[in-house]
Structure 1
Amino acid sequence: MIYLGIDVSKQKLDLCLLSGNGKKKSKSLKNQPDVELEINDWLLKQKCPPEQVMAVMEATSIYHENVAYGLTENTPVTVCIANPQRVREFARGLGILTKNDSIDAYVLARYGELKQPDVWVPPSPEVRKLKELVRLRDSLQVDVQRAKNRLEKGQSTRTSPEVIASLYRTQCALEIELERVEKLISDHTDKNDGLKKDLELLESIKGIGNVVGTTMLAVLRGNTFKSAAQLAAWLGVVPIEKISGSSVRGLARMSKTGPADVRAKLYMAAVVAARWNGPVKSLYERLIAKGEPAKVALGAVMRKLVHLCFGVLKTGEPWDENYVATA
């Protein structure tokens, strides 16, 4: 297998090719539509059959999607998408502390060579659309809150009526668009039987509402996870201990290696579940009784909710409070 590291940024792609003969070759390309064809041509010029190439890149916001989908759909190149935090830790393990685009591309190629990450499987068009709508909804929610904050600030001082009116119109326009996008999400899930059933399964869990449900649906169906533990690790809700010998006794903390926006939603779901979800409430109270801080207990609840979300979609059965309580 030949390994190709691709460091992705908004404007360009930095490539590092490890062909297996101890040599590496580098190239920089503009990140644009059809760039996968340029990569394919470059590989052929290097006498590297594309079907023998594994391309490894990081999940960089949305900027990796163009090349990832392009390589998968239009070339025989195998694509792997790695967790940026894991790759950074891998680089430190190699003794590479410097960080720039060309070095990052080399680290990604070495990561593929030594770690053999799972092959990336593109989500279906229905899931891709759901992910895009959820991303837009989340962005609009932030915009609406910002508009509300600006209006509140304006009303707390001697702001001219014209400015207040403009701020108010902006807030109303954003709220209307947010409602429209939320309806688009609802219509999209209702029209697709698979997504509709999956969302109903997720929302059967007490504490998981529509916002968290659609977010977790996009995560679970937009990626390939072999286990609930792998999903929890990807989301960054697993505990990391710091214990060594008899002198080091650090408090366990959440790894926080995945998407922060998803964890923020899971945190609010955990607050609700810790009150109304019987088995989860028992877990929370048991940890509090042992002297654990409330945030640590809520972190455990977040991880439990992630496991429940994975479980209902894997089994295809709605959440059963009594079953969970006796399991």
Structure 2
Amino acid sequence: MRTQEFNRQHKAPAILAATHKRMLKVLDKEIESINKLLTKTISEVTEWQRTYEILSSVPGVGDGVTFTLLRELPELGQLSPRKIAVLCGLAPFNRDSGVMKGRRRIKGGRAPIRTVLYMAMLSAIQCNPVMKKFYQILVEQGKHKKAALTACMRKMMTIFNAMVRDNCEWQAN
């Protein structure tokens, strides 16, 4: 809603500028209070607090991704890489029939995780050297940019799973 209001502000007539400013102020306060509530809730549960610290240590991952993963993926750190990819809807499924070879596509899984990871990956390929290099290699090999982004999302989810499983924070090596 905040983004929508911000975009409307730029296209609206000058007479409505004060209305848009008031609305943005209200939305900012609401977002701030929700973030405080989520942070307080996480600090009350020891397991969530450690998982929050682990996930927040990754460059390109903010509170939105961390809060979503804590809420939507309680199995994080307990499943195999393949199962976690399927659960998040990031595993490619083939569409073959007989001699016909179809395209591989992702499907199913938990949509909120996929949505939040997509936006996080756009940030991560800019500021996270590991993801940036992986993305560039895939694009240089001829993968479409969205397919490369999806592959990076899957790799990031696998890394998150391993980090939580091993109880260790991000290491660039």
Q: What is the aligned counterpart of 2:102 among 217, 235, 250?
A: 250
Is 1:279 aligned to 2:137, yes or no? Answer: no
What does residue 141 of structure 2 align with?
290
TM-score by length of 1: 0.47
**The one of 68, 84, 106 aligned to 1:215:** 68
Residues 1-327 of structure 1 aligned to structure 2 (within 5 Å)? 143-155=1-13, 161=15, 164-221=17-74, 226-246=79-99, 248-255=100-107, 257-322=108-173
CA spacing shift, 1:190–1:213, aligned 2, 3 Å = same
In 2, the alpha carbon distance for the partners of 1:169 and 1:318 equals 40
* Aligned-residue identity in percent: 28
**1:193/1:254 Cα in 2 relative to 1: closer, same or farther (>3 Å)?**
same
CA distance in structure 2 between the aligned counterparts of 1:319 and 1:164, rounded to whole angstroms: 43
Q: Which has the higher helix share?
A: 2
**For the residues of structure 1 that align with 2:63 and 2:80, how far apart are their CA atoms?**
23
Structure with more relative contact order (C-alpha pairs < 8 Å, separation 6 or more): 2
- How much has 1:222 moved relative to structure 2? 6.9
Q: Distance in 1 between matches of 2:26 and 2:123?
A: 30
After alignment, is 268-277 or 219-228 more displaced? Answer: 219-228
Point out the structure with max Rg over C-alpha: 1
> What are the ranges of 5 or more consecutive residues in structure 1 without an aligned counterpart?
1-142, 323-327
* Separation (CA, whole Å) in 1 of partners of 2:106 and 2:143: 14
1:266 partner letter: L
TM-score normalised by length of structure 2: 0.82
1:245 is displaced (CA, Å) by 4.9
Deviating runs (4+, > 4 A) in structure 1? 222-225
Change (3 A) 1:279 1:144: closer
Q: Is the 8 A contact 2:59 2:127 kept in 1?
A: yes
Residues 276-296 of structure 1 deviation map (CA, whole Å, 9 limit, x = unaligned) = 434333332232222111111
